[in-house]
Structure 1
Amino acid sequence: MSSDNDRILIVGAGQSGLAAAHAALGQGLRPILLEASARTAGSWPRYYDSLALFSPARYSALPGLPFGGDPDRYPRRDEVVAYLERYAAALMRRGAELRTGARVDAVRPIGGPGKSGFLVHLTDGEELTAPALITASGSFERPYRPALPGLETFSGRVLHAADYRSAASLPGEHVVVVGAGNSAVQIAHELAAERRVTLVSRAPIRFVAQRPLGRDLHFWLRLTGFNRLPLARAEAPPATPVLDDGRYRRALGEGRYRHRGMFARLDGDDVRWADGSHERVDAVLLATGYRPSLPYLTDLGALTADGRPRQRHGLSLTHPGLGYLGLEWQRTPSSNTLRGVGADARHVVRTLARHL
């Protein structure tokens, strides 16, 4: 066990953890990244095969390393993985320490005469201490599965978007996709090429043009300053509209997949609609989002009863020296994105550096 006053521990080496390490090096700190998986790309390797960024490469880079290639393309999943691994290698050349296969299972406070900070316990038994800690482990390991009527006894396949890879992931002829965000619409559109798809949601789908007036939406968001707009703390992030280059709305209008309000219940292998009608369904895919996954902070007393961090703008309200990154709508609308997490990382790390 060792401790240094300029050490900062970062849990997670995905986009948020890497941005935190970059900011820490800029403040003269020594970051140690603890990544549970074998790769330095966070949850990106586990997303579905066809996923592409919603923002062009020119707006999607982390601080200090451009994406490269055509700046107006929308990088696909595997491009993002390769980019993040290049970014991690560049950080290590600058002195960041990065450990893969290092899963954190508990964090406890330490204190006493002349010392304060955190003791981080890994599943392999190793313990590390540091005066500052940033949790950047994301939410992929805690997919949100709403309590829909009949879901627990549904006789078909139930799959969350976290486990979806391609159309081959789901059997049968009729799939119900639950959700109204980008992932729900993208997956429904992809599945509709091979089977019958019903997209269901409580709220209407809000389509937004991806390239208004011939320029990508993110050009206008940057021009107007919307991406940097500070936000009040939100316990439940607002719904995100679906970015569409025209294909998704057109396919819906042509009947290649359909949209209905939320079903009344699932019954065996049937879906029962609010109007009393029913039909057979083979699989249900939940594109219902994620919740912060921070079980290792439970004993620290830093979370609410439902597991959300007690924080404001990424800074703990319970423990000085503790920061968060990668939360949806943490400070701005782009907080939980490649294009926005760098600004959040600078804010959090600067504040922790002053604390140190």
Structure 2
Amino acid sequence: MLVAVSTPPDPVIIIGGGQSGLNTARAALEAGLRPVVLESGPRAVGSWPHYYDSLTLFSPVKYSSFPGAPFPGEPDEYPARDAVIAYLDSYARDLDVEIRTDTRVSAVTSSRKGGFQVHTEAGEEIAASGVVAASGSFANPYRPQVPGQDHFAGAVLHVAEYRNAQPYAGKRIVVVGAGNSAVQVAYELSGRASVTLATRAPVHFVAQRRLGKDLHYWLKTTRLDVLPRAWLVRIFTSTPVLDTGIYRDALASGQLDRRPMFTRFDGDDVVWPDGSREKVDVVIYATGYRPNLGYLEGLGALDQTGMPRHHGGISTTHAGLVYAGLEFQRSFSSNTLRGVHRDAKYVVEPLAAHVNNTTRVVSSGGAVPGPAG
């Protein structure tokens, strides 16, 4: 005789303790799940401590809070990096969930009983009824390969490795990229070094404030913040750089030089499109990031480029696997402090349904997996 036995589900493992992981942990807790957060760093603050020293949020305090946790400070001020770290630290301490720091995940595999096994670099194996991949992208910077780069005599780094301008005083530097980080870092360096911003197209500036209101007021009012990517690409044909006017003026005045992207490296030179050559000490790629999901490769959840197979953050390959914090996962604000909670709630609903609908049937012959949901 078969007897249906209700057994407590294994925890939902959330990989990553930054803004996405913490918001998903709260949503999972509210859905009646047992979340356990695994964070590779010493604190549950994500990658924020590794960003460059002068980084400030593009959104003011009043548009940078999680639900129920107001960001401290004046509503119209723009929080600095360290203020964000303190905010996340406080939020994590107030969460009634288990957070394991200094725990790096090496792989996720399918379990014979229908869930997952999460493997850590320390050799631990953790049974999971569901998995949330919320590990961000900072640890996986995108570095283009330009001809001659391997033999370049100067230094080549990604903006992920940049902290401040002090080590680069007096040097000849090329910053590659046309986004916010590229322009901000190039501008900061221009006060101490000779800097060129190398881009494939002109920089597209967007005013930080319009009619006395911050841009995020208009994003919220017009609902652009929650539009899906397919709509946004029709509105924004290039990467916008938020600007109060200082960056545009720096380019116009010649304080900051912009040129079309160089074609190759040659010894200690870069070669510009017109054929001219120039000795350069440092090239800094500010060319973005890719999702840091290497631990899912063996599971078969990624495509050939390493990108997750998903729809709105819900895996299309494995029931019980969801994502949080992907860029444009569902909207313009998906991986931001102000918007990640919406995606967290969205992916937790089907995750909870999957976990709660998975039962075990026990007989004299042993355990039999129930429906995967």
Q: State the SS of the aligned residue for 2:229.
A: coil
2:23 aligned residue (19, 24, 28): 19
Uncovered stretches (5+) of structure 1, i.e. residues with no partner? none
TM-score in terms of structure 1 length: 0.94
2:115 aligned residue (114, 117, 122): 117
Larger Rg, first or second structure (1 or 2): 2
Q: Which residue of 1 aligns with 2:370?
A: none
Larger CA deviation: 295-304 vs 265-274: 265-274
TM-score in terms of structure 2 length: 0.90
Alignment partners' CA distance in 1, 2:237 and 2:111: 37
Asked if residue 272 in structure 1 is aligned to residue 271 in structure 2, the reply is: yes
Q: Which residue of 2 aligns with 1:86?
A: 90
In structure 2, do the counterparts of structure 1 residues 319 and 295 end up closer, same or farther at CA, with 3 Å as the change threshold? same
Q: Which residue of 2 aligns with 1:46?
A: 50
**Could you tell me which amino acid in structure 2 is paired with residue 166 of structure 1?**
N
Q: CA offsets per residue over residues 118-144 of structure 1, 9 Å max, x none?
A: 110111121111211101001111110
The alignment yields a C-alpha RMSD, in angstroms, of: 1.8
Q: CA offsets per residue over residues 44-83 of structure 1, 9 Å max, x none?
A: 0000000000001111112221102101111000000000
Alignment of 1:123-162 (within 5 A): 123-162=121-160
- Residue pair 1:19, 1:63 contacting (<8 A) in 2 also: no
- Residue pair 2:204, 2:238 contacting (<8 A) in 1 also: no
1:220 aligned residue (193, 206, 218): 218
In structure 2, do the counterparts of structure 1 residues 257 and 160 end up closer, same or farther at CA, with 3 Å as the change threshold? same
Shift of 1:230: 2.6
Q: Which residue of 1 aligns with 2:206?
A: 208
In structure 2, do the counterparts of structure 1 residues 4 and 171 end up closer, same or farther at CA, with 3 Å as the change threshold? farther
- Residue pair 2:19, 2:337 contacting (<8 A) in 1 also: yes
Q: Which residue of 2 aligns with 1:229?
A: 227
Give percent identity, aligned residues only.
56
Q: Which residue of 2 aligns with 1:308?
A: 307
**Could you tell me which amino acid in structure 1 is paired with residue 209 of structure 2?**
R
Asked if residue 174 in structure 1 is aligned to residue 172 in structure 2, the reply is: yes
- Residue pair 2:41, 2:102 contacting (<8 A) in 1 also: yes
Question: How many residue pairs are counted as aligned between the two chains?
Answer: 347
Alignment partners' CA distance in 1, 2:10 and 2:26: 15
Shift of 1:330: 0.6
Q: CA offsets per residue over residues 82-136 of structure 1, 9 Å max, x none?
A: 0000000011xxx300000111111111134xxx211101111211112111010
Q: Which residue of 1 aligns with 2:104?
A: 103
- Residue pair 1:233, 1:312 contacting (<8 A) in 2 also: no
Asked if residue 8 in structure 1 is aligned to residue 9 in structure 2, the reply is: no
Shift of 1:233: 10
Larger CA deviation: 56-65 vs 134-143: 56-65
- Residue pair 2:226, 2:332 contacting (<8 A) in 1 also: yes
Larger CA deviation: 168-177 vs 217-226: 168-177
**Could you tell me which amino acid in structure 2 is paired with residue 121 of structure 1?**
H
- Residue pair 1:56, 1:71 contacting (<8 A) in 2 also: yes
Shift of 1:203: 2.1
- Residue pair 1:189, 1:248 contacting (<8 A) in 2 also: yes
Alignment partners' CA distance in 2, 1:143 and 1:88: 26
Alignment partners' CA distance in 2, 1:204 and 1:313: 32
Alignment partners' CA distance in 2, 1:142 and 1:169: 24
**Could you tell me which amino acid in structure 2 is paired with residue 343 of structure 1?**
R
Alignment partners' CA distance in 1, 2:123 and 2:231: 36
Larger CA deviation: 76-85 vs 59-68: 59-68
2:71 aligned residue (67, 70, 75): 67
